[in-house]
C-alpha cells in the first residue's frame, strides 16, 4: 500500500469520515448561530471553510494522540488497530501531529492576532493531554478524572472558535455569559459521548479493561451519562436568541429516548440493549446540535 492509502485506511478506521464530517459541520454551525445571536459580525463562507478545516485538523490530531498514548495497551487488547498492527509507524503519527498543528495555526491565523492566540491555548492544552499531564501513572487509573481532564479541551476550542468568528480576544469570549455557557455545554456533550461509548453489558466486559459499567455498575454508568445531558441542556437555557419552546420540546424528546434505552440496558443487561445505549449516546451530540440549530432558525 502507498502511504496515502495507508493514511486513508487509518482515517476510515479511526476517524470515520461520514460520521465525523456530520458532527463537525453541525458543531461549527451551532457555534456560528450562537455567536451571531450575540454579535452583528458574521463570518464569510470562505472563513467558515477555513475554520472547519482547522477544527477537523484539531480533532484528527487528538485521534493521533490517542493512537500513540494507547499503543502499549492496544498491543495487548486491540492488536487489530492501525499502529499496533504496523499499518503506520510512530514516526507517521508524529508527522501527522505536526502537520495538523500547522494547519490549525494557518486556518485560525486568517482572522488575525486574537484568533491565533486563542487557538494556541487549546493546542498547548492538547499537548499536555498528549503527555498525560506528566502524571501518567497517577491519572490513568482514574478513568472518570482522566476523561474529564481530556474532554475539557473542547471548551477551550469553543472559545477559540468564538474568537475566530467574532474577532474578540480569548478573555472577551470567556467573560460573555452566553458563549461561556455554550462552551461548557460542549464539554458536557463530549463527556456524555465518552461515558456512553465505554459502557457495556456484563457479557461484553473484558478482563483488565476498565469501563464505566465495570467501575460504577450499569446504573452508575447511566447516571454519569444522564448527568452530562441534563447539565448541557440546563446551560443552553442561558443562550440568547434561541426559540426556548422548541428547544425544551426537542431536549425533552431526546432525554426520553435516552431514558428508555437506559432503562432497557439496566434491566436486560445484554449485548443488544448495551449496543443501542452506546449508539444513542454517540448520536446524542448530533441530535443536540440539530435541535439547537433549529431553535436559532425557527422564529
Tens of pLDDT, residues 80-105: 999 999 999 999 999 999 999 999 99
Please report the pLDDT score of residue 38 as a whole number: 82
Residues 22 and 286: their CA atoms lie apart, in Å, by 8
How much is the average pLDDT of 232-241?
A: 89
Dihedral sign of CA atoms 257, 258, 262, 263 in order: negative
Please report the pLDDT score of residue 45 as a whole number: 60
Phi, psi of 200 (to 5 degrees): -135, 160
Specify the pTM: 0.94
pLDDT tens by residue, 26-77: 999 999 999 988 875 554 567 889 999 999 999 999 999 999 999 998 999 8
Please report the pLDDT score of residue 239 as a whole number: 86
Contact (Cβ atoms closer than 8 angstroms) between residue 15 and residue 63 = yes
pLDDT band at residue 242 using 50, 70 and 90 as cut-offs: confident
Question: What does the mean pLDDT of the chain come to?
Answer: 94
Whole-angstrom Cα Rg for the chain = 19
Closest CA to 96 of 127, 65, 133: 65
Instruction: Please identify which residue in the block is written with the cell numbers 472559545.
Output: 159
Please report the pLDDT score of residue 47 as a whole number: 85
In this structure, what C-alpha cell is assigned to residue 27? 458543531
Which range (107-116, 231-240, 271-280) has the least confidence?
231-240
Contact (Cβ atoms closer than 8 angstroms) between residue 107 and residue 50 = yes
Residues 277 and 12: their CA atoms lie apart, in Å, by 23
Which range (27-36, 40-49, 106-115, 159-168) has the least confidence?
40-49
Residues 210 and 82: their CA atoms lie apart, in Å, by 22
Higher pLDDT among residues 5 and 298, named by residue: 5
In this structure, what C-alpha cell is assigned to residue 115? 484568533
Please report the pLDDT score of residue 1 as a whole number: 78
How much is the average pLDDT of 161-181?
A: 94
Please report the pLDDT score of residue 41 as a whole number: 53
Please report the pLDDT score of residue 54 as a whole number: 98
Burial class (CB in 10 A: 0-12, 13-18, 19+), 83: buried
- C-alpha distances out from residue 56 to 16, 26, 121, 157, 255, Å: 12, 12, 17, 11, 28
Contact (Cβ atoms closer than 8 angstroms) between residue 99 and residue 114 = no
* pLDDT over 90 at 208, yes or no: no
pLDDT band at residue 25 using 50, 70 and 90 as cut-offs: very high
Phi, psi of 123 (to 5 degrees): -65, -45
Please report the pLDDT score of residue 240 as a whole number: 81
Instruction: Provide the 3-class DSSP secondary structure of residue 199.
Output: coil
Closest CA to 156 of 136, 128, 133, 137: 128
How much is the average pLDDT of 267-280?
A: 97
CB half-sphere exposure, 256, CA atoms < 13 A: 6
In this structure, what C-alpha cell is assigned to residue 80? 487489530
The percent of residues in the chain predicted with pLDDT above 70, rounded, is 98
pLDDT band at residue 299 using 50, 70 and 90 as cut-offs: confident
How much is the average pLDDT of 134-147?
A: 93
Please report the pLDDT score of residue 61 as a whole number: 98
Instruction: Please identify which residue in the block is written with the cell numbers 503527555.
Output: 131
pLDDT band at residue 186 using 50, 70 and 90 as cut-offs: very high
Instruction: Provide the 3-class DSSP secondary structure of residue 207.
Output: coil
Residues 100 and 94: their CA atoms lie apart, in Å, by 10
The 8-class DSSP code of residue 16 comes to -
Contact (Cβ atoms closer than 8 angstroms) between residue 197 and residue 277 = no
Amino acid at each position: 500500500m502507498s502511504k496515502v492509502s495507508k493514511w486513508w485506511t487509518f482515517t476510515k478506521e479511526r476517524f470515520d469520515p461520514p460520521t465525523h464530517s456530520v458532527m463537525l459541520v453541525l458543531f461549527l454551525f451551532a457555534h456560528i448561530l450562537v455567536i451571531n445571536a450575540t454579535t452583528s459580525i458574521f463570518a464569510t463562507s470562505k472563513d467558515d471553510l477555513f475554520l472547519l478545516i482547522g477544527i477537523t485538523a484539531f480533532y484528527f490530531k487528538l485521534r493521533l494522540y490517542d493512537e500513540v498514548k494507547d499503543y502499549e495497551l492496544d498491543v495487548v487488547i486491540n492488536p487489530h488497530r492501525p499502529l499496533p498492527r504496523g499499518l503506520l509507524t510512530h514516526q507517521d503519527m508524529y508527522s501527522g501531529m505536526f502537520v495538523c498543528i500547522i494547519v490549525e495555526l494557518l486556518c485560525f491565523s486568517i482572522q488575525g492576532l486574537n484568533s491565533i492566540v486563542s487557538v494556541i491555548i487549546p493546542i498547548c492544552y492538547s499537548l499536555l493531554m498528549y503527555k498525560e499531564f506528566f502524571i501518567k501513572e497517577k491519572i490513568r487509573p482514574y478513568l472518570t478524572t482522566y476523561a474529564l481532564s481530556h474532554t475539557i479541551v473542547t471548551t477551550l476550542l469553543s472559545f477559540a472558535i468564538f474568537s475566530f468568528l467574532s474577532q474578540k480576544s480569548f478573555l472577551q469570549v470567556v467573560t460573555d455569559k452566553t458563549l461561556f455557557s455554550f462552551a461548557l455545554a460542549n464539554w458536557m456533550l463530549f463527556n456524555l459521548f465518552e461515558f456512553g461509548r465505554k459502557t457495556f453489558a456484563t457479557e461484553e466486559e473484558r478482563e483488565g479493561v476498565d469501563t464505566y459499567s465495570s467501575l460504577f455498575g450499569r446504573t452508575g454508568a447511566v447516571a454519569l451519562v444522564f448527568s452530562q445531558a441534563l447539565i448541557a441542556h440546563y446551560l443552553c437555557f442561558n443562550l440568547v436568541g434561541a426559540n426556548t419552546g422548541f428547544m425544551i420540546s426537542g431536549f425533552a424528546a431526546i432525554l426520553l429516548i435516552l431514558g428508555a434505552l437506559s432503562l432497557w440496558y439496566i434491566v436486560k443487561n445484554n449485548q443488544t440493549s448495551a449496543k443501542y445505549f452506546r449508539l444513542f449516546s454517540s448520536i446524542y451530540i448530533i441530535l443536540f446540535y440539530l435541535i439547537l440549530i433549529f431553535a436559532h432558525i425557527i422564529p
